[in-house]
Amino acid sequence: MSKPTTPIIVGTRGSELALVQAASTEAALAAAFPDREIIRKVITTTGDRRTDVPLSEVAKSEGTFDKGVFIKEIEEALAAGEIDIAVHSLKDLPTKLEPCFTLAAVLERAPIRDVLIIRRDNALTNLAENLADHINALPANSIVGTGSVRRAKQVEWLRSDIVVTDLRGNVPTRLRKLAETDTYDAIILAEAGLIRLGHITAGDAIEEIAGMPQLIAIRLAENDFFPAAGQGAIGLQVRTDDATNRSFAEAIGHRESWLRITAEREFLRLLDGGCHTPVGVYSSICGDIISIKARVFPDAGGHPKSGEAHGTDPINLALELFKSLS
């Protein structure tokens, strides 16, 4: 019997981080299906093009209210059959997908925390003692850069003196903006992306950014500074009627990560929340028990609602978390 010759075409954004995530997907596919050729197609998205306005305003300025700004063009390529598996940072993928698309699997999840990056000249001398205080490691009236409404709301809630300002660009660009200008005293980035790009190592220590000794990374404990739904996960999206490529994606998926992100994304769906909704969700799993906590910020500011739930079924768990908000 001859080997199949149809390749698996993987679609991805072109940022450095997106390409690293695509490479991880391709390596997993190649290991699971050594008789298949894996081809990469790089696609420029609306969010990549529009760096002139805050991320929360990109969809409005482009008239793409129903789409994640980092997925629209990738989904168009998927629908047209130009790619077979779309690779996404899962937190960029809306919880409500068109019926023709399916989230088939996620790879094993990376660390989910956010990381405070601060210039050494602004850092407190006793950083090790202030690790548990995270945001309190910042001097008074600091300017913090982030493109995330969720991060901005949490910072403002924890430290009302801090000024939060918009920050766009890929991870290396954001790091350079902090290192080379006085626009920001600190920025906040996802731990997963920093590790995947080799800027920090896995672990809990305070450390320098690789190649930028003037920058220090402080991990923000996930049960204090809640991450985004799906943060740290790489999502694999396919056409709903494409059983073959769905089976390929499912074969390299990670079950525990899938259970956790299913609960998180279902909770976001129940809130009718999107990629820019100020919601933090933190989940963990021990044996068969999934634990999940949430912090939901009102658009107008003020104290967030919070809740938590524990259980084995991620869909039911999301509903219990939704009901527990107070």
Give the pLDDT band (50/70/90) at residue 62: very low
- Residues 310 and 237 occupy one common structural domain: no
More confident residue, 224 or 312: 312
Phi, psi angles (nearest 5°) of residue 270: -65, -35
- Residues 72 and 214 occupy one common structural domain: no
Give the separation between CA 73 and CA 92, rounded to whole angstroms.
13
pLDDT for res 67: 46
- Residues 246 and 275 occupy one common structural domain: no
pLDDT for res 325: 96
Q: Is residue 227 part of a domain?
A: no
- Residues 105 and 4 occupy one common structural domain: yes
* Share of residues in the chain with pLDDT > 70 (%): 87
How remote is the C-alpha of 111 from its chain's centroid? 10
- Residues 180 and 203 occupy one common structural domain: yes
φ/ψ region of 263 (left if φ > 0, alpha if ψ in -120 to 50, else beta) reads: alpha
**For residue 280, pLDDT beyond 70:** yes
Which of helix, strand or coil describes residue 287? coil
Q: What is the mean pLDDT of residues 63-92?
A: 84
CATH for 17? 3.40.190.10
Choose the final residue of a domain: 220, 243, 268.
220
Q: What is the mean pLDDT of residues 269-293?
A: 88
Chain-wide mean pLDDT for the chain? 88
Please say whether the beta carbons of 187 and 146 come within 8 A. Answer: yes
Domain region containing 136: 114-220
Q: Is residue 225 part of a domain?
A: no
pLDDT for res 128: 46
CATH for 262? 3.30.160.40
**For residue 151, pLDDT beyond 90:** yes
Q: Is residue 226 part of a domain?
A: no
Q: Is the dihedral of CA 10, 15, 21, 27 positive or negative?
A: positive
pLDDT for res 47: 67
pLDDT for res 315: 98
Give the pLDDT band (50/70/90) at residue 5: confident
**For residue 68, pLDDT beyond 80:** no
- Residues 243 and 299 occupy one common structural domain: no
Among the listed residues 84, 92, 114, 185, the single catalytic one is: 92
- Residues 81 and 125 occupy one common structural domain: no
More confident residue, 273 or 27: 27
Which of 222-231, 253-262, 277-286 has maximum average pLDDT?
253-262
Please say whether the beta carbons of 281 and 268 come within 8 A. Answer: yes
pLDDT for res 274: 60
92 is catalytic: yes
pLDDT for res 22: 98
Burial class of residue 217 in the structure, from the number of CB atoms within 10 Å of its CB (0-12 exposed, 13-18 middle, 19+ buried): buried
Choose the final residue of a domain: 166, 196, 220.
220
Report long-range pairs for 63-71 (Cβ below 8 Å, ≥24 apart): 67/94, 68/92, 68/93, 68/94, 68/274, 68/275, 69/45, 69/275, 70/13, 70/45, 70/46, 71/45
pLDDT for res 123: 59
- Residues 86 and 128 occupy one common structural domain: no
- Residues 23 and 100 occupy one common structural domain: yes
Give the separation between CA 261 and CA 55, rounded to whole angstroms.
23
The string of pLDDT tens digits covering residues 25-50 is 999 999 999 999 999 999 998 766 65
Number of domains into which the chain is organized: 3
pLDDT for res 72: 87
Q: What is the mean pLDDT of residues 209-219?
A: 93
The string of pLDDT tens digits covering residues 152-208 is 999 999 999 999 999 988 899 999 999 999 999 999 999 999 999 999 999 988 899
**For residue 113, pLDDT beyond 60:** yes
